Copies of this chain bind each other. A is one copy, B any other.
Amino acid sequence: MIKPRSRRGGGRPTISDVARKAGVGAITVSRALREPERVSEELRRQIHAAIDELGYVPDPNARALASARAEVFGVLVPSLTNNVFAEVVRGIYDSLSASPFRIQLGNTHYSGLEEERLLQLFGSQRPAALIVAGIDQTPTSRKLLESAGCPVVQVMETGPDPVDMMVGFSHLDGGRTATEHLIGAGYRRIGFIGARMDPRSQRRLAGYRAAMEAAGLFDPRLVTTTPVLSSVSLGREMFRDALAKMPTLDGVFCNNDDIALGVLFECHRASIAVPKTIGIVGFNDLDMMQVAFPSITSIRTHRYEIGRRAVAMALAAIAGNRPEQRIVDLGFELKRRESTAR
């Protein structure tokens, strides 16, 4: 005798329950949900009535197993607390909230190994798309991405060799623009202060260096970096170090806004006039930059928009019309403020 296993799922209604109640085949219910246009209006109404009555919610696991494709976007970022990535992620969530896609978020902690592990893990779920931060994947990660069998969007940066698609901007140009602005404002002994020197920060530094060298101002002693995670207090400390090393400093381009804020506070504390004695430029243009006193010049980046755009491109690719422009440069904007208005 065949005894059906007592409903493991705790009695939640299944697609067959709906089918029975609506007087149709299970497959028709499935179709009514996924390709409504292929089912007559009449049946569609009956089916939806049955769904409402039973409170049926499709099981995403069964769906993924049967269709060999999960309605999941895998998203990999190096940090959850860094405001910049938080905004990218927010853009992704907002763009996906009305879609059937779920999000699988991974935190790589800026580690290539961790990225490989998570990519491996995410791959086992057969995601509908992958969004990863950065363009400096390890060879293993890159291979994993290439063989993922789904659209891949690399975000935050642009570069010459996308795995599939890219949305971001040039950090090198950003660093150069920031530095050229300081030079143009009359600053000469301009330092670079950078925490958490990930590849993006490295490229900002390269931009700084290019601008300084072009102006004949570069001096390696002007550069202060650390691999430590960025924070406002770290910005303060690093600025003190930089000043100790190079007392004639008259400007700083900071890796990011947290560092810039730390520098500003230290200037207040040490009674160093901003922008008169020292000019400060940040990166990302967080809300607080325009409120600070004096307000801080920064490179505005379009984080939220990057998230939205990445999803839009992935969605288009899933729908079959891969955007012809595979690399999207959203640029940046120099926000001139009091901290460099000499």
- Write the residues of chain A forming the contact surface with B, with a CB cutoff of 8 angstroms: 8-10, 57-62, 64-65, 67-68, 70, 80-81, 83, 86-87, 89-90, 93, 97, 102-105, 107, 120-121, 123-126, 149, 231-233, 235-236, 258, 261-262, 265-266, 268-269, 287-288, 290-293
Partner of A232, one of B8, B89, B291: B291
Given contacts A87-B81, A123-B57, A288-B261, contact A104 B107 (CB under 8 A): no
Partner of A86, one of B80, B104, B291: B80
As for how many copies of this chain the complex holds, the number is: 2
Residues on B with C-beta less than 8 A from A235 are: 291
Q: Is the CB of B105 within 8 A of A61?
A: no
Residue in B closest to A117 when the chains form the complex, CB atoms:
B97
Residues on B with C-beta less than 8 A from A10 are: 68, 149
Residues on B with C-beta less than 8 A from A83 are: 81, 83
Residues on B with C-beta less than 8 A from A268 are: 268, 293
Shortest A81–chain B CB gap in Å is 5
Shortest A150–chain B CB gap in Å is 11
Q: Is the CB of A265 within 8 A of B292?
A: yes
Given contacts A68-B8, A83-B81, A269-B293, contact A231 B102 (CB under 8 A): no
Q: Is the CB of A80 within 8 A of B70?
A: no
